[in-house]
Amino acid sequence: MSQDVDTSQIGQKDGLEIYRINKFKLEEVPKEDYGQFYSGDSYVVLYTKYKGACNIHFWLGEKTSIDEMGTAAIKSQQIDEFHGGMPVQYREVQFHESPLFLSYFPNGIRYLDGGVESGYNIVEDPLKDFKPRLYHCKGKRNVRWYQVECKKESLNLGDVFVLDLGRTVYVWMPPASGRLEKIKGMMCAKEIADKERHGEAQVKILDSDWDKDEEFWSHFGGLSSAKNVKRAMNDDQDYWRKISDKVTLYKVSDESGDMKVMKIQGPAKQTELNTKDAFILDAATGGIFVWIGKECSAIERISALQMGEKFLKLQMLPPWTQVTRVMEGAETMSFMQWFEEWDEEKQRKCFVPQLFQVSNASGKLVIEEIANFTQENLDGDDVMILDALHSIYVWVGAGADPKEKEGAQETAKKYLKQDTHPRHKDTTIETIYQGKETPTFKKFFPKWDDQLFQSGNRSVEKMRKLLFH
């Protein structure tokens, strides 16, 4: 029987901590299993920057039970109270995690079938009677690995797949898959081999020989099946943020259990927030934020995220919409940025530029935010937008699609037109080409290496050698 973790001991050290809900208790997840999430379970994930500054995420699997969901919320609240009620709380739903949550896992997150009953069981030989597992890679930077049926119909020529056979782990990289997906696939396979198999599994990379390996294809009906694999799906945009709608502020009350919502007319302003009340900011594509004033009732302080969930139902918003709780006096930039008026000094000090991968090839602008970004996130195959609030930088990779290169300025204008952030009307747009970055642009990154973009430095082959030789 699992021992419940003392919530007062959580968040006492810097870095990442992950706990899984098991029979109404918190069960610590071993570090070697970080990044793996069972679809039938709920988790509490804590990231501590330094003592007193932490983010609490509770993650809800697609098939988790109502009891586990409730326990995850209660445990998150207990941790929050121990830290003085100041941490930022996030509700994460499988397949729709926030960029911040995904940034904790550089190699991506992996979804596993089943739940607490199927995980962490101690057996003499974990590879005895091992059943093959096939993982599908979705996303280029915010990567999700989810388990799919091990059959030919699950494959497509545009995405990377990992076939886990226990003692052998294949990375299948078909011709239409991209450089970043291939690198992430190799990193995922290495993680399985090193952490789960303790270095005893062999990793095999199928790149130019994607249609020639007999052992791999024996699990999909034989070599002849390679000729019938479907073409690229091109549906990554389902995982990308879509820009639409306007930001709206609501005053809310839920003390009686019957939620009352009053819309605040006009653009969101800091002066509308009252310390005695709770407010919900509907940031459209940015999710919803529940703001709790310092003089709110104890019930409203404790049930902030539940209020957010009720609001989703009232407004008929998707149940997976991001819900974040912020406390008065501890507002994050991700919250303040949506207000037309906010204390300028505080906003200026807190402002954090945002980096997005953008695509306008289909005529519909789709973007993917990269949280905690570095220079490594700039990929030569893409067009990126660095949003510095009153300056927009369009970074054009050397190998980007010719149409997207040509339309970079128009893409930035479209981004500005559809974006809901309050900003100056004279916001500037500047195009930056790979290898010709300006000193001002470079300053937005934690560090900058002029040699990074040199030919071959970040090739799939070089990464393969670094990882496996």
> Over the stretch 299-315, which tens digit does the pLDDT of each residue have?
788 788 888 999 998 88
467 Cα distance to chain centroid:
24
pLDDT one-digit tens code per residue, 397-422:
888 888 888 888 888 888 887 776 77
Q: How many CA atoms lie within 13 A of 69 on its CB side?
A: 16
pLDDT classification of 30: cutoffs 50, 70, 90: very high
Token reading at 443: 């300053």
Average pLDDT rounded to a whole number, residues 115-120: 59
**Residue 90 or residue 266, greater confidence:** 90
Distance separating alpha carbons of residues 107 and 254, to the nearest angstrom: 40
pLDDT averaged over the chain? Answer: 83
* Res 138: pLDDT: 78
Average pLDDT rounded to a whole number, residues 346-352: 57
For 55, 57, 115, 203, the CA distances from 46, given in Å and listed in that order, are 6, 6, 20, 32
Distance separating alpha carbons of residues 134 and 123, to the nearest angstrom: 22
* Domain 1-115, architecture per CATH: 3-Layer(aba) Sandwich (3.40)
* Res 123: pLDDT: 44
* Res 369: pLDDT: 83
pLDDT classification of 351: cutoffs 50, 70, 90: low
Distance separating alpha carbons of residues 273 and 397, to the nearest angstrom: 43
* Domain 243-351, architecture per CATH: 3-Layer(aba) Sandwich (3.40)
CB-CB neighbours of 314 under 10 Å: 13
Task: Give the CATH number of domain 123-239; options: 3.50.50.60, 3.40.20.10, 1.20.1260.10, 3.40.1190.20.
Answer: 3.40.20.10
* Res 323: pLDDT: 92
pLDDT classification of 458: cutoffs 50, 70, 90: low
Rg (CA), the chain: 23
Average pLDDT rounded to a whole number, residues 122-132: 67
pLDDT of residue 158 exceeding 90, the answer is no
**Residue 59 or residue 181, greater confidence:** 59
Average pLDDT rounded to a whole number, residues 417-428: 76
168: left (phi over 0), alpha (psi -120 to 50) or beta: beta
* Res 70: pLDDT: 87
Average pLDDT rounded to a whole number, residues 436-455: 89
- Which uninterrupted H or E stretch holds 304? helix 304-314
Average pLDDT rounded to a whole number, residues 132-140: 85
Distance separating alpha carbons of residues 431 and 383, to the nearest angstrom: 10
* Res 240: pLDDT: 36
Domain boundaries, the chain: 1-115, 123-239, 243-351, 353-468
**Residue 298 or residue 61, greater confidence:** 61
Residues whose CB falls within 8 Å of the CB of residue 198, separated by 6 or more in sequence, listed in order: none
pLDDT one-digit tens code per residue, 92-112:
999 889 888 998 998 889 998
Distance separating alpha carbons of residues 100 and 41, to the nearest angstrom: 21
* Res 121: pLDDT: 46
Please give the model's pTM, rounded to 2 decimal places.
Answer: 0.67
Domains 1-115 and 243-351 share a fold: yes
**CB-based contact 20:60 (threshold 8 Å):** no
Distance separating alpha carbons of residues 305 and 56, to the nearest angstrom: 12
* Res 399: pLDDT: 83
* Domain 353-468, architecture per CATH: 3-Layer(aba) Sandwich (3.40)
pLDDT one-digit tens code per residue, 191-230:
888 888 878 889 999 998 999 999 999 999 999 998 888 8
